[in-house]
Amino acid sequence: MSDRAIAAKIIQALADYLKRDPASIKEAHHLRDDLGLDSMAVIELLYKIEETFNIQIPDQDLPALSTVGSVAAYVQQRLTPAKPVPARTPKKLAPSRAPKKPAPTSKKKKR
């Protein structure tokens, strides 16, 4: 999903919640200062975003989500699959420099 599509869904969710025209909500708007959301409203909005995008937002991530744009960027980052780490081919081990033990012999002891 593109950055624009994610931002549009978040803005639409805010517009529905605030009963405002989506065009009046910008990515630079601060959720509390510009849009007037209190703590409970922010939590409700983030819950709706979790449901919409099928993600989970841990509590420790909440302080960073203060603007519409920061929420959109966070969701985009969570939806982007992690790049796989390329598989490493095992390195060939250098032959051991330790002296080799002599092979066991099958000499019979004389009596």
pLDDT-based confidence at residue 60 (cuts at 50, 70, 90): very high
pLDDT at 77 over 80: yes
Determine if the pTM surpasses 0.75: no
**Tokens coding 91:** 């390195």
Q: What are the angstrom distances between the C-alpha of 42 and each of 63, 71, 100?
A: 11, 11, 71
- pLDDT value at position 2? 80
Proportion of the chain above pLDDT 70, given as a percent:
73
Please state the rounded mean pLDDT for residues 106-111: 60
Domains assigned to the chain: 3-79 (1.10.1200.10)
Distances (CA, A) of 40 to 35, 46, 64, 69: 13, 10, 16, 20
Residue 102 in tokens: 């002599």
Give me the mean pLDDT over the 23-45 stretch: 93
